Structure 1
């Protein structure tokens, strides 16, 4: 009698095993977030300047892109530190007005029939001194990012030196591992396009927000414009994060009317640009569906913190490239992640080199 081999695993068991492995990997990533987050940021920045590197040769191909990245990081970091220092110095001057607003809110709630004890209980956790301490502790919190900055710079230096070698190595592997090389090149190309889209729209939003806040007389309009630019890299909900601080400051500085104007302006400008127009371009460049993008934001923020929110789309794009595009056995699931219709043709365009995956002949 012929010997029977082991029974094939059921689809349900394989799915359960995959989900369990994903949970374990994400837990491990969270434990190592202090290293993984800045390292992936360095990888993303290295990819961002790859078009510049491809136009240079020799030592210039390594050090010119690195210098550009470091100058941009220094400029952005300096702007954040200066703006945070001004904000920390400004907040204490609004403590009395903050207390008066809380008192007025308590009176209004009492007038509509809410019990005084309930009001005191609700407002007990809203302490103006906590707001002042949080603002004054903002600068000390920024110093906690020194480790992440050092790791990012060190990894950036290594990746800049190894970029040319890695490119030649992937070129040599193109014939033996075409799917893997195709997936990595596609990830690099998608990430570069996504960063260009987010940067362009972020600059537009930041300039418009700064102009509107300056016209309304809201303090520190440049700081809130910078915040709008940074939060533009957070998909879908970035404009809400960028709206809260200037709206509260407008309320404390000029009253309810100015706060409402700030909210209206942000909803018109930021929501239309960031949540309606930009996702059409960003989704195509990153090749991720809206649902996957939202889930990515939640998962990577949990795993990596604030940097995970900013890098959510590149992280998910990398996971898609490695887990789906690089393996012909799982490439069928790519349309479920990208939100595109699968190619039903049987010609040479089907597979990783089709519309749902980058061809091996294209460089990242």
Structure 2
């Protein structure tokens, strides 16, 4: 892993400078983070985030927008072909400059991650109880195997599974049960931050709702910070306090989750919101609408605003002028030249 700290100011389209926090330092502060693969392919470009203890931050976007790369970058879990620059401050300590021993101590104990796809993340030949106990034994020198197994049973009960399931192998559990095991493992060392990367992928609607409620309850009970990643704005709006929308490796809109979902100011945020039905809302009787086209190839990004080839309200200048995040009202920011235009202009993106 190559990790360096940038010494220059943010790019024109980077997130706002977060170098002067007000009050106590946040649990997590990301400043102008970039991730480049192979020296030439930018997957994350100038991202800034801030998470307080007890706060739930959602990160949304289509596949390929950089969400999972960002999640893995926060704990330096990316392959060695990735180069990271910027600052990732966890409790004020920069993850990118940590030595290996310190980084190993921080993973699971300071921050943990619920990986996308539990069946691929769990070891198929080990019982799930042993897999939950493993990080406890690694991070607590005083823990005995018997104590770690007892703690694993307690964690399984905490996430709604009977202690007896500790003896099961991953293939003996349903998808929802495996996801609960992953959450139990993420809680094993009492981290202050949990990163959940698509925690409800491939689960049916009822199990998805149970997992989301479980995560919300655990965050509230333990006062931990949560970063939840999904392509589903509706889920994030219902679960999270704040929401960041990513496109082509950058945050293009951020603000209170329900406001961003209900009245996004960036055309991409509005398109994501319009792609999901709003059940029970009599004011919304139109069918969900898809967004034509695909996210750009990171190795061949278009000039100007990277969204302009798909944008229904793009101006001529959008093809040549990039946009940085700017105030968009209601504690929101959006990287669009039209955020200063009258709200009536928003309707053009949904017609």
TM value normalised by structure 1: 0.24
Higher helix share: 1
TM value normalised by structure 2: 0.24
